[in-house]
Every structure is written in structure tokens, then in C-alpha cells.
Structure 1
């Protein structure tokens, strides 16, 4: 499944987070990677184990961290999983209805993470409208 970067990340929210976090931005993005990988794995394990209760906290964590970086589709998917899991816990029911969402979670997480990390990487060339070292008129 492939998404356009513009639909996976709200770049305005991303820029705001980058400005607010300042020098700690790359470190916090690294924590998002670590926490996200763990959360996705725990959610998948909980799904296999049919434990709705075990899905709630990692889905909630992933939702909040994704929103911090402007990754709204990922945050919404995690929120859906969290809500289904909470409902199942309240009803003391199994969580099969979360399966289709859990299956979509890993690819969406990694595709979103790749976009965030690529944008955060200072070594990735950016499009430029000219500037220092460029000759006007294309000489």
C-alpha cells in the first residue's frame, strides 16, 4: 500500500513540532521510532493472543506520538484500534473486529516513519529556488 507523503504527514504540524522541540527534535523522533516499533509489535502480539486489554496502552501511545509529528492517518488508525480495544474490554469480548486495522498498522507506521526521517535528515537535498552559489539565468 502506497501513500503520498502529503497525505500521510501534515507538514505544517511537522514544522511546528520541529520548531517547538528545537535541538531535541531528532532525539524525540528517534524515541518515536523506538516506541512505535514496540507499540506496533505489542499490538500485533495482543491481536494474535486475542487480548484487547493489551492493545489499549500501545495504541494510545502511538496515537499521541504520531499526532505530535503531524502523522494524522497513523494517529487515526491507532485511535481506531484503541477505541475498538477499549470497547472489547468493556464488553469482555474478543477483538476480532480490530484485525483489519491491525493488519494495516505496520506498513502505515513504517511508510510514515520513513517520510518523517527523510524530512528530518539534514543531509537530504532540498529543492531550492536559487540562493548562494547559484547563478541567475542558468549560466
Structure 2
């Protein structure tokens, strides 16, 4: 992800905001909590060389990210999922996925911070809250 414009499709985000209304915050919570867990599971699977363990969290992360326009995270998750499935099919280790896995955490944390800044005006005015939000997302 070269810059923040590659992370969030704001048109899609605004469409999700309009269609979901107050439920948007529930979906953002899912992305923040379940997404952080999925990123950790993917990283753990990469460390253990387990392509099978990457598929489900990558699929979950992709779906949740797409719902709210987090296209950068969704693209990385989809790439990880597709490559992990190929590794399973060809009985290979997931060594070729490491670059996408390394990029995923940073993209996820930046995405959460961007969306928090967009949905919570206090976040935009208080850098300390942005730091706390990013720390929460990385749990």
C-alpha cells in the first residue's frame, strides 16, 4: 500500500454508512476486533508454515473489510487466501506469502486509524486517541 488513498474506498465507505446507519459502528467493531484476531492468526500461521490455518481468517478479514470499503486490507487478505489455497493444493509451504503477511498488519492498523478519524471527530483532534486506537487494533 503506497499511501492511505489505497486503503479505503471512501465512496464505498459512505455507501455502507448510509445503508447501515448506526449499525455501521457494530460493523466497525467487528472489523476492529475480529480483524485484529484474524491478522494475528494469519501471522501465527505464517510463522508455523501452516497454509491451511491462513485460509479462514483471511477470508473473514476480506469479507469484513469489503463491507465497509477497506479495500487495501481486503486485497491483501484475498491475496493471502488465494496463495494459501494454492499452497494447499500443490502441497507447498507458504513461504511465498510472507510479503503480503508482513504488509497486512500495517495496512490494517492504518485503515482502522483512518476510519476512526472519519467516524469520530475527537480522534481527528486528539493524536493520543489515535495512538490508543491503533494499539487496540493491534491486539
Using the size of structure 1 for normalisation, the TM-score is 0.84
Give RMSD over aligned pairs: 1.8
Separation of aligned partners in 2, 1:86 and 1:103: 18
Q: Which has the higher helix share?
A: 2
Separation of aligned partners in 2, 1:26 and 1:62: 17
CA 124–44 in structure 1, closer or farther in 2 if over 3 Å, else same: closer
Separation of aligned partners in 1, 2:2 and 2:16: 25
- Which residue of structure 1 lines up, in the alignment, with residue 130 of structure 2? none
- For 2:92, what is the secondary structure of its paired residue? coil
- Which residue of structure 1 lines up, in the alignment, with residue 3 of structure 2? 3
- Which residue of structure 2 lines up, in the alignment, with residue 130 of structure 1? none
Offset at residue 124 of structure 1 (A):
5.4
Conserved? CA contact 2:116–2:123, under 8 Å: no
Offset at residue 91 of structure 1 (A):
1.2
Largest Rg, 1 or 2: 1
Aligned pair count?
Answer: 125
Separation of aligned partners in 2, 1:42 and 1:68: 21
Using the size of structure 2 for normalisation, the TM-score is 0.84
Separation of aligned partners in 2, 1:42 and 1:76: 17
Any unmatched runs of 5+ in structure 1? Answer: 127-139
1:39-87 CA deviation, whole Å, 9 max, x = no partner? Answer: 0000000000100000000001111111111111211111000001001
Say yes or no: does 1:61 pair with 2:70. no
CA 31–39 in structure 1, closer or farther in 2 if over 3 Å, else same: same
